[in-house]
Structure 1
Amino acid sequence: MPDDPSVAKRVLRAELRERRRNMPGHERELATEGFTARLEELIGSTGAESISCYLSMPTEPNTRPFVEWAEARGIRVLFPVTREDGLLDWTVGEAPGERIGPTGVPEAEGELLGPMAINDVDLILVPAAAVDATGLRLGWGRGYFDKTLGSMGKCPPVYAVVFDTELVETVPREVHDQPVDGVVTPTRIVAF
């Protein structure tokens, strides 16, 4: 790995992105079943009644079956919406569709609730490229979640959703990186 953390991150992200792209369809389907079951367990163990969760891209751990399960049980789900200023806004996505946001990721459509809406949830689920054994999260490089988590006064538990191979020994660290409280994979829930 290169000495410069930002270069090391780019190299690792490229490798992880490629691995996700090449994952066989049947493996992805099994992982989705596992993610859904583990996330349901996490809700059961935390008693969360309001959560934030992202809408996954095709190569990411699939959060959609879990989101449908949560909404069907009356759990309030906030979805992130990217803003021009680098912050995240939030919506409950009451509109039936979704759109591709300015950064190329799927976003729920609905009334925008403002960046502070995240302060009212019981559990935050975030995407990640990898998470290390200490709970340090390697994001995808835009810093939206690091800024959001770093600005919260009282933060509820934050869990990253990654494939089993993405829970690694160490990830490159920079000053702004925010740790997570736990990780959800298709086979387990790990709290740090």
Structure 2
Amino acid sequence: MISEPAGAKRALRAELRERRRIRPSAERDAASVDLTRQLIALTSALGPRSLACYLSTPDEPETRPFLAWTAEQGLEVLLPISRDDGLLDWAPYDASDEGSDVIGMPVPTSDIVAPIAINDVGLILVPAAAVDRTGMRMGWGRGYFDKTLGSMDRRPPVFAVLFDDELVDELPREKHDQPVDGVVTPGGIQRF
């Protein structure tokens, strides 16, 4: 039997996927420019020497221009690689070729580092389907980031990357869901 929050999350994810799929390309391009500016502002304000981010899929807010900026700044960036067991490996961003992981997500082709390397970053940027105004993050249902964030003893600031309309008033919650410290959208940065 599926719990009520799980069913509500599944329906909301389907709606959000469709909204992302039909988002006009001109709106997506403008969002990319603004989001890059916001991600640079957050990173500059927090001043981490290293951070974790991800390579966006075609329907997600675009992270590659920001990642190019991190390379120019000499920042160390770890990118996630999904594993068959539901956990994440990490690999350094090297601004070169991309591949796909076991679930078809874009990943770097650089060598994998020890999974505990995530414990040394000063900022984590995570994908999300939506985040509510209390900081509760709803991912896409696979639990990779919830497991990672929930297993960390010392978590650096964690910010979800979203489109502006994906910051919502309230989301269904389950006990394994992990909150974030803030969101970065094309329209700005919000801390919780």
TM-score range, shorter chain: over 0.9
Give the gaps of 5 or more residues in structure 2. none
C-alpha distance in structure 2 between counterparts of 1:64 and 1:25, whole Å: 16
2:82 corresponding residue in structure 1? 82
- The verdict on how the C-alpha distance between 1:55 and 1:95 changes in structure 2, with shifts beyond 3 A counting, is closer
Once the two structures are superposed, residues 43-79 of structure 1 have per-residue CA deviations (whole angstroms, 9 ceiling, x without a partner) of 1110111010000000000000000001110010100
Once the two structures are superposed, residues 132-158 of structure 1 have per-residue CA deviations (whole angstroms, 9 ceiling, x without a partner) of 000000000000000000000000000
Does residue 136 of structure 2 align to residue 136 of structure 1? Answer: yes
Does residue 149 of structure 2 align to residue 180 of structure 1? Answer: no
C-alpha distance in structure 2 between counterparts of 1:97 and 1:153, whole Å: 33
- Cα distance, 1:97 vs structure 2: 1.1
Contact 2:130/2:166, CA 8 A, preserved across alignment: yes
**TM-score scaled by length of structure 1:** 0.97
2:178 aligned partner, one-letter code: Q
1:28 corresponding residue in structure 2? 28
**TM-score scaled by length of structure 2:** 0.97
Once the two structures are superposed, residues 20-41 of structure 1 have per-residue CA deviations (whole angstroms, 9 ceiling, x without a partner) of 0000010000000011000000
C-alpha distance in structure 1 between counterparts of 2:5 and 2:25, whole Å: 33
Once the two structures are superposed, residues 106-159 of structure 1 have per-residue CA deviations (whole angstroms, 9 ceiling, x without a partner) of 111111112111001000000000000000000000000000000000000000
C-alpha distance in structure 2 between counterparts of 1:95 and 1:69, whole Å: 10
Provide the secondary structure at the position in 2 that maps to 1:149: helix
C-alpha distance in structure 1 between counterparts of 2:102 and 2:166, whole Å: 26
1:38 corresponding residue in structure 2? 38
Q: Superposition RMSD on alpha carbons, in Å?
A: 1.3
Contact 1:87/1:115, CA 8 A, preserved across alignment: no
Aligned residues: 191
Does residue 60 of structure 2 align to residue 60 of structure 1? Answer: yes
Give the gaps of 5 or more residues in structure 1. none
Contact 1:182/1:189, CA 8 A, preserved across alignment: yes
1:55 aligned partner, one-letter code: L
The worse-fitting range, judged by mean Cα deviation, of 77-86 and 145-154 is 77-86
**Matched-pair identity in %:** 57
Task: Give the alignment of 1:46-125 within 5 angstroms.
Answer: 46-94=46-94, 96-125=96-125
2:165 corresponding residue in structure 1? 165
C-alpha distance in structure 1 between counterparts of 2:118 and 2:183, whole Å: 19
